[in-house]
Amino acid sequence: MTAAMQSAPRNDRIYFCAPVNALVEGIYQQKIPLAEIKQHGDFGLGTFDHLDGEMVMLDNEIYQITSDGKAAQVSDDALTPFSCVAFYRPVSHDRLEKACNYPAFLDWLNSLLPSPNIFYAIRVDGRFSRIRVRSVPRQENYRPLAEVAKDQPVFEYTDTEGSLVGFYTPPFMGSLSVPGMHLHFLSADRKSGGHLLECCPDGITAGIQFLTTLELGLPMSFDYLTCDFQRDTEKDLESAER
């Protein structure tokens, strides 16, 4: 194998810097720098230390959407307790011209996935007649994610353009990541966004990438190593993420 082949990114790999059940338990500090995350992908989502907003990684740039709904680029020395990334190389592009509601959008997106049993990276670009997103305010450790979500600020935008960035996770991987579709939004002007709650697309293109290899980092922090993981991850994620 040549050196060039050895250094080439794996286009079938998804990387988690920590399992999502650590967030569910309220472990919001892991001291993982974004520079390390960028070694594993150029596309993805996550959050920041102290759960300080939503993360969007697009074209190798990382944006933080704070609790006021505003987006800004962040430096590589910022820290994350949970990120999910891949080197985005879509194998298909599909166009949805007609306007539709959120359930119809999800049905269409799911129809592009040939199997529910692997991961997919998903990017959706285009116009949205309405989109509803949320972010989260900065937290200290130990307040469970489901409790934090009760205080989440929600933002709604109309007649806007932008990108949805995220992943599909098989249901049996629910302790690692949000099962099913997990998408974050970033506006075309890169000034606003958040975790997707609902949208009505009106002319979009979806790019899909198959991800069949999983790489998982397990933190070495005291909080993580001593956590007993008593909370119901599936129930709490359904409450916090939908």
The residue extents of the domains of the chain are: 10-241
Task: Classify 10-241 by CATH class.
Answer: alpha beta
Q: Please tell me the distance from the alpha carbon of residue 210 to that of residue 206, in angstroms, as a whole number.
A: 13
Q: Please tell me the distance from the alpha carbon of residue 84 to that of residue 117, in angstroms, as a whole number.
A: 18
The H or E element that residue 32 is part of is strand 32-33
Would you state the pLDDT for residue 8? 55
- Whether this prediction's pTM lies above 0.85 is answered by yes
Q: Please tell me the distance from the alpha carbon of residue 177 to that of residue 43, in angstroms, as a whole number.
A: 16
Give 236 or 113, the one with higher predicted confidence. 113
Would you state the pLDDT for residue 233? 83
Q: What angle do CA 46, 107, 13 make, to 5 degrees?
A: 40
Q: Please tell me the distance from the alpha carbon of residue 67 to that of residue 185, in angstroms, as a whole number.
A: 14
Confidence of residue 4 (pLDDT cuts 50, 70, 90): very low
Decide if pLDDT at 2 tops 80.
no
* CA atoms 11, 111, 178, 71: torsion sign: positive
Q: What percent of the chain has pLDDT over 70?
A: 95
For 137-168, the pLDDT digits (tens) are 999 888 888 888 888 999 999 999 999 999 99
Among 33, 48, 181, residue whose Cα is nearest residue 105: 181
